[in-house]
Structure 1
Amino acid sequence: VGASLIVGGVDLTGPQLYSVHPHGSYSRLPFTALGSGQGEALAVLEDRFQPNMTLEAAQGLLVEAITAGILGDLGSGGNVDACVITKTGAKLLRTLSSPTEPVKRSGRYHFVPGTTAVLTQTVKPLTLELVEETVQAMEVE
């Protein structure tokens, strides 16, 4: 199991943005995106990002990028949310945009556990053999 993260904040040298990959490496980037709509969002960011954008311009670009991700993959959700991080704090902005209409369900579906019958079940235990194990110390500066 792995997890990807986008970590942002402000320190003494200014704003920082990092993408942390599931295997542990990280990249410092001027912008990034994660998730199922990542490709579409990155296409917008790569085309329109400019250093030193105003807050309003950056929020507009954010709405465009996330909207592209939502429309490119309808499983990505339907609202554009943001978190603005400054030297003085952070502010969560909910529902800056809602580019898609919520789907109206035609009925209420509720299935109690056991509704779907299990026709067959096969459990095969694994027999594994350790062929070789080596341990190396990590290099530390």
Structure 2
Amino acid sequence: MLSGTLRLMELNTGRKARVITALRHAKQHLFNYQGYVGAYLLIGGVDPTGPHLYECSANGTTMAKPFAAQGSGSYAAISVLERDFKQNMTEDQAVDLVQRALHAGMHGDNASGNSLNLVIMRPGKTEFRGPIVPEFCKKPEPVDLTYKFKPGSTKVLKKKVYKFDVIESMDISH
């Protein structure tokens, strides 16, 4: 939705859309739905006014940030970013910081997947790197061991029996 709107605007005006324009369209759309879309966005880029990064919540609230993280592993990622972020970092320092933050987010959250992609935005050029698979994601899952105990080898410490009266039953055989 957003990319199509921005592309139409670029075709009509003959100029590339600015980051703030993308942000404004996104926040107005999300505000109209009062959070029911459920989309939380990070909108960033480099335009003639410089680099920008914005956090946009599901209800359209936005905030400019020097760094941000969202998603299920974001708490671990933010802790790395807050500890190690410095203004005026070199590109290599920033890439290293982002990778460490993503590794922290992935390591502490099984739902984060097992690879990451980096996008480096410069004036007039965007570079995609990935998929990058961290070393801890390459390790095989541990095999569950089967435990077999001989009858009577474990001691029953306490036994409690509950009796239930069947009031109604349901046939689920078909």
Residue correspondences, number: 106
CA distance in 2, matches of 1:16, 1:35: 20
CA distance in 2, matches of 1:86, 1:97: 24
Query: Equivalences for 1:75-94 in 2 at 5 Å?
Result: 75-94=111-130
Runs of 4+ aligned residues of structure 1 deviating over 4 Å after TM superposition are none
- Structure 1 residue 101 and structure 2 residue 116: aligned? no
Q: Which has the higher contact order (CA 8 A, sep 6+)?
A: 1
Three-state SS of the structure 1 residue aligned to 2:111 is coil
Is the helix fraction higher in 1 or 2? 2
The alpha carbon displacement at 1:102 in A equals: 6.5
- What root-mean-square deviation, in Å, do the aligned CA atoms of Structure 1 and Structure 2 show? 1.8
Q: Report what 1:5 is aligned to.
A: 41
CA distance in 2, matches of 1:93, 1:102: 22
Query: Equivalences for 1:49-68 in 2 at 5 Å?
Result: 49-68=85-104
Q: Report what 1:44 is aligned to.
A: 80
The alpha carbon displacement at 1:79 in A equals: 1.3
TM-score normalized with structure 2 length:
0.57
Alignment-mate amino acid for residue 101 of structure 1: K
CA distance in 1, matches of 2:133, 2:99: 7
Provide the identity percentage: 35
Query: Considering only CA atoms, is the larger Rg found in Structure 1 or Structure 2?
Result: 2
Gapped regions of structure 1 (runs ≥ 5): 107-118, 120-141
Which residue among 7, 10, 19 is the counterpart of 2:55? 19
TM-score normalized with structure 1 length:
0.69
CA distance in 2, matches of 1:25, 1:5: 10
Q: Report what 1:113 is aligned to.
A: none
CA contact (8 A) 1:63 1:97 kept: no
Gapped regions of structure 2 (runs ≥ 5): 1-36, 144-171
